[in-house]
Structure 1
Amino acid sequence: MDTVGAAGAHVSCAIRNRLYVDGKLVGSDLPLAELASHRSQENALIWVDLLAPSATDIALMAPLIGGEVALHHLAIESVLSGRQRPRLVRFRDHSLLHCRAVRYDTATDHLEGTDLSIFVLARALITIRGDDRFALGPVLEEWDDNVDLVTHGVGFLLHTVLDAVVDGFFEVIDTLDDRIQTLEDDLLLGAGPKNAVQLRSFVLRKAVAHLGRAVLPMNEAFSALLRQGSHVVAGDLVPYYQDVYDHTLRATERIDGMRDTIESILATHLAMQGNSLNETMKKLTAWAAIIAIPTGVTGYFGQNVPFPGFGNPSGFWFSLALLLGLGFGLYWSFKRRDWL
């Protein structure tokens, strides 16, 4: 998608936008020049989304921001660098929120993430996505279903985006939780190859660790948003942000629980392997003892001294009876102790 900017330049990345005036949607996916013409209106609210933009694309957003505000060069650098730690950074005239939307690919057992950077201004919200795996459909539907809240301005738009991100956290957590439950069942039932449980435990532990790096820092970001003087969250929107913040805390607790469960599975798997090895060693020891008996008998009667009845058939049968009697006696003793 190639969109002409306000100064006649071209935005090379995919771009979407909306314009609200007095809390009502008056246009979407407008040319940037037309969108910028409403920037000076006190009752106008602008949202712009850029998909994997370049530095030039971000610079072309200047007419939408206003001449009195300039995006800080450090903020632009951090957006373009990608894979930033989720956090809220405040500048003089605007704020920048980094977060990470996640989804779990069940086909490959791989956690996928989308870097999301959000510029928060007085009457404009600019979202920058690293890729299109974070869908905008649910966000736009939420805005359409709650048009009465659009009058709260940028704070409402930002809340909806963050709510969609946190909902994605719980979708991944539920998927991982189901896989951990299945892994526990396979461990107890002994299903699958011997090393399958251990390998799947490592895969799940890696996914949980990656998820934690996306979720845990969001607690600090929400605390900064809810802090007095943030100029982002209006009084009427505080309960909405507090609700999303509580969800993030709950997601953190569930991630900690999944970590403990996976560690418990690995410890149980190793303990079961140790018990299996002990059983094998007991059996090997028992059979070694059984084999030692006839070796000792035949060695004693056949190699050391002539045994009673040496040279007679009765001596042979006596030694054979002694060999079998001691062997079966030892076998019965081990069997009774459940060593065999």
Structure 2
Amino acid sequence: MNESDVERVRVSCEVRNRLYRDGVLAGTDLPVEELAEYRSDESALIWIDLLAPSVADIVALSPLIGGEVELHPLAVEGAISGRQRPRLVRFRDHSLLHAQAVRFDPSSDRLATTGLSVFILARALITIRSDDKLPLDPILADWDDNPDLAAYGVGFLLHTVVDTLVDGYFVAIDELDDQIQALEDELLVGSGRVNAVQLRSFTLRKAVAQLGRAVLPMNEAFSALLRQGAHVLDATMVPYYQDVYDHALRATERIDGLRDTIESILATHLAMQGNSLNEIMKKLTAWAAIIAIPTGVTGYFGQNIPFPGFGQQSGFWLSAGMIVALATGLWWNFKRRDWL
């Protein structure tokens, strides 16, 4: 690529970047053409962020920071889709990390995700976000707070990105946990409509399942990053990645706990519904038995055969007294047994 080619490069999407030289920040949000001047500088470390780029944007940009490296077409296609399963893919001279940033909305009990693809090269890191819901400020602030680690190259940049992702997992897990605990309290107290509790249980279970699909595969990706020879990772950065890996494992355990709690709530809800139905059936049966007494007495005395008081006023009072006495006795017996 000659100088005239560099000048003709244009990227239509939003671009953020940083340039480090010899472990020191040398520039922020530089023109893309200026970054191209450092593509062959062994002391340069480049980070570029693309927001919802097209294939043409990535193809136009990759030669500027990769030197002789050519991004694999399958990697480019997967990066712009934004919906890849979290995993680490190795190519001949670069790697591609697919991940998902998560955020939970307590007002709707729904989990939203932002696709993140990270091209990992020897002296450059390209992050591709599917939308702007994943903020860059925490990443940039962490880089500024740890300038001494910039000397360790791409491993320093990548660590902050994945560490921010894992921190976001815990924020979503904590918010989900709060909502699940509130639902559990609502269920045990008995407030709220039964259908609303059941519907919210299914909504939260869906959010937990979606969170698990974003977090669980990252354990395998982090394990691959830590594998010797699988990534341009300085030995000094290994403990930092191990710490992120441990946090990801803990996030997985908490997700399993949330899933178990949701299943417990649903099981308790169904058991309470069954108990409530049994109570209703018991009360209905008791009242049906009480109502059957007048029917039986009046039916007996309504026969066209002589009986004590037949054709006399005393017969009416006898039947009425039997109805009141037997119904009252049955009602008192059911009440004593707590059937009513």
**TM-score normalised by structure 2 residue count:** 0.96
Instruction: Indicate yes or no: 2:274 matched with 1:274.
Output: yes
8 A Cα contact 1:5 1:11, kept in partner: no
8 A Cα contact 1:5 1:60, kept in partner: no
Matched letter for residue 56 of structure 1: A
Match of 1:299 in 2: 299
Q: Secondary structure at the match of 1:11?
A: coil
Gaps of 5+ in 2: none
Q: Deviations over 1:304-324 (max 9, x none)?
A: 532212122222222221121
Q: Deviations over 1:177-223 (max 9, x none)?
A: 00000000100111112211101001101111111110000000001
Matched letter for residue 339 of structure 1: W
Match of 1:338 in 2: 338
Task: Out of 74-83 and 263-272, give the one that drifted further.
Answer: 74-83
Q: Secondary structure at the match of 2:100?
A: strand
Please state how far the C-alpha of 1:18 moved relative to its aligned partner: 0.4
Counterparts of 2:182 and 2:113, CA distance in 1: 24
Counterparts of 1:147 and 1:18, CA distance in 2: 13
Please state how far the C-alpha of 1:106 moved relative to its aligned partner: 2.4
Match of 1:43 in 2: 43
Counterparts of 2:321 and 2:107, CA distance in 1: 65
Q: Deviations over 1:30-67 (max 9, x none)?
A: 11111111121111100000000111110122333333
Q: Deviations over 1:236-295 (max 9, x none)?
A: 111110111111111111111111111111111111111111111111101111111111
Please state how far the C-alpha of 1:69 moved relative to its aligned partner: 1.1
Match of 2:314 in 1: 314
Match of 2:172 in 1: 172
Match of 1:63 in 2: 63
8 A Cα contact 1:5 1:31, kept in partner: no
8 A Cα contact 1:88 1:95, kept in partner: yes
Counterparts of 2:118 and 2:67, CA distance in 1: 19
8 A Cα contact 1:62 1:70, kept in partner: yes
Counterparts of 1:82 and 1:147, CA distance in 2: 30
Instruction: Indicate yes or no: 2:288 matched with 1:283.
Output: no
Q: Secondary structure at the match of 1:85?
A: coil
8 A Cα contact 2:116 2:129, kept in partner: yes
8 A Cα contact 1:186 1:192, kept in partner: yes
Match of 1:104 in 2: 104
Flag as ranges the 4+ runs of structure 1 deviating above 4 A.
none
Match of 1:188 in 2: 188
Please state how far the C-alpha of 1:107 moved relative to its aligned partner: 2.9
Match of 1:243 in 2: 243
Task: Out of 101-110 and 24-33, give the one that drifted further.
Answer: 101-110
Q: Deviations over 1:65-85 (max 9, x none)?
A: 333211011111111233000
Matched letter for residue 336 of structure 2: R
Counterparts of 2:130 and 2:199, CA distance in 1: 31
Match of 2:154 in 1: 154
Q: Secondary structure at the match of 1:309?
A: coil
Counterparts of 2:317 and 2:238, CA distance in 1: 97
Instruction: Indicate yes or no: 2:129 matched with 1:142.
Output: no
**TM-score normalised by structure 1 residue count:** 0.96
Matched letter for residue 313 of structure 2: P
Q: Share of identical aligned residues, percent?
A: 72
Cα gap change, 1:63/1:325 in structure 2, threshold over 3 Å: closer, same or farther? same
Please state how far the C-alpha of 1:5 moved relative to its aligned partner: 8.3
8 A Cα contact 2:110 2:207, kept in partner: yes
Match of 1:115 in 2: 115
Superposed CA RMSD in Å reads 1.4
Counterparts of 1:133 and 1:53, CA distance in 2: 15
Counterparts of 1:138 and 1:66, CA distance in 2: 26
